[in-house]
C-alpha cells in the first residue's frame, strides 16, 4: 500500500520535489517528539497525495497543523500519544479505504476538538523549563525546552534548520528553581555559553551580541540598556502568547 519512500521520508525527511520545506520541518519535529503513533495517518496522507487526492499545498498545511497540534497536546499538555491511537488508526483506515474531503475534515475537526484553550495552554506553558541541578532536571524536560527554543528561533529567523545550540540560563540556574523556567532560557552557541560563566546579566550582553540566533539578538535589543527590567514571569507569559497566537497558530478560544 505504501512505498518505501514514504516511510523513509518520515524517518529522515528531506526537501525534494515531493515534499516542501514546511512539511519536512514538521516531519522532523515528529521524529524529535518520538510520535510513532502518528505514522499511520502520515503514511495515508502521503499516499493520498501521491494519488493527487491532496494537493502539495494542502498536504503541507495538514502536516504542519498536525505538528502544531501534537506540540500543544504532547509537549505542552503532556498528554500521551497513546490516547490518540484509536483516533489515528480509525481515521487512517477510513481515509485509505474511502478518501473524501469530508472524511479528511472529520479527522482534522477531531484533532481540533482536543486543542487546549488559550488559558489552559498558557498555564501549562509556565511549567516548561530545564535545570541542571534542581527542578526540571531530567532528559524529557531538557528535550521539551530544546524544542520550544528551536521553534522560537525558527519563527524569528525564518530558517528551517538553525544548527546546534546549548541552553543558556539568563539568570543563574543555581539561584532559584524559578530560574529554570523557559522564560529564563536562550539558545546559545556552546563557546559563547562557556564564556558567560557566572557573569551578571549586564556583563553577558556583550557575549550575547556575538550570537547568530535571532532570539538572542531580540533579547539584547530589549534588555541591553535596562537589564534589571528583565522579568522571567513576564517573558514566559509573552512567549506563551506568541506560541499560541503566532508560532502554533492555534484557534483562539
Instruction: Give the cell for residue 29.
Output: 519535529
Per-residue model confidence as pLDDT tens digits over 144-155? 899 999 999 999
Q: Is residue 252 in a domain?
A: no
| Count of the separate structural domains present in the chain | 2
Per-residue model confidence as pLDDT tens digits over 7-19? 555 555 565 546 6
Angle between helices 139-157 and 21-32 in degrees, nearest 10: 170
Verify that 233 and 131 share a domain, yes or no: yes
Per-residue model confidence as pLDDT tens digits over 162-183? 999 999 999 999 888 899 999 9
Verify that 65 and 89 share a domain, yes or no: yes
| Contact (Cβ atoms closer than 8 angstroms) between residue 201 and residue 227 | yes
Verify that 54 and 107 share a domain, yes or no: yes
Verify that 11 and 75 share a domain, yes or no: yes
Percent of the chain's residues with pLDDT above 90: 56
Range of the domain at 185: 122-247
Per-residue model confidence as pLDDT tens digits over 77-121? 888 877 888 999 999 999 999 999 999 999 999 999 988 889 999
pLDDT interval class at 134 (50, 70, 90): low
Per-residue model confidence as pLDDT tens digits over 183-213? 999 999 999 999 999 899 999 999 999 999 9
The pLDDT assigned to 70 comes to: 86
Verify that 201 and 136 share a domain, yes or no: yes
Q: Is residue 178 in a domain?
A: yes
Q: Is residue 253 in a domain?
A: no
| Contact (Cβ atoms closer than 8 angstroms) between residue 145 and residue 182 | yes
Verify that 126 and 207 share a domain, yes or no: yes
What is the DSSP annotation of 34-99? T-GGGHHHHHHHHHHHHTTSS-HHHHHHHHHHHHHHHIIIIIIT---GGGGHHHHHHHHHHHHHS-
Amino acid at each position: 500500500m505504501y512505498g518505501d519512500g514514504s516511510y523513509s521520508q518520515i524517518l529522515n525527511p528531506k526537501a525534494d520535489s515531493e515534499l516542501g520545506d514546511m512539511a519536512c520541518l514538521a516531519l522532523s519535529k515528529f521524529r524529535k517528539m518520538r510520535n510513532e503513533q502518528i505514522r499511520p495517518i502520515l503514511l495515508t496522507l502521503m499516499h493520498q497525495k501521491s494519488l493527487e487526492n491532496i494537493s502539495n499545498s494542502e498536504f503541507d498545511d495538514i502536516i504542519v497543523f498536525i505538528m502544531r497540534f501534537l506540540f500543544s497536546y504532547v509537549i505542552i499538555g503532556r498528554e500521551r500519544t497513546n490516547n490518540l491511537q484509536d483516533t489515528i488508526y480509525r481515521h487512517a483506515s477510513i481515509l485509505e479505504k474511502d478518501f473524501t474531503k469530508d472524511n479528511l475534515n472529520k479527522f482534522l475537526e477531531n484533532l481540533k476538538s482536543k486543542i487546549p484553550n488559550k488559558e489552559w495552554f498558557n498555564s501549562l506553558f509556565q511549567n516548561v523549563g530545564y535545570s541542571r541541578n534542581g527542578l526540571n532536571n531530567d532528559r524529557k524536560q531538557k528535550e521539551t525546552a530544546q524544542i520550544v527554543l528551536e521553534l522560537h528561533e525558527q519563527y524569528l529567523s525564518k530558517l528551517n534548520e538553525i544548527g546546534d545550540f546549548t541552553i543558556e540560563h539568563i539568570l543563574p540556574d543555581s539561584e532559584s528553581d524559578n530560574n529554570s523556567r523557559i522564560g529564563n532560557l536562550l539558545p546559545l552557541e556552546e563557546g559563547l555559553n562557556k564564556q558567560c560563566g557566572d557573569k551578571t546579566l549586564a556583563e553577558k550582553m556583550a557575549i550575547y551580541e556575538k550570537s547568530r540566533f535571532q532570539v538572542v539578538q531580540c533579547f539584547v535589543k530589549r534588555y541591553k540598556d535596562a537589564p534589571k527590567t528583565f522579568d522571567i514571569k513576564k517573558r514566559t507569559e509573552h512567549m506563551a502568547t506568541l506560541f499560541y497566537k503566532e508560532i502554533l497558530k492555534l484557534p483562539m478560544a
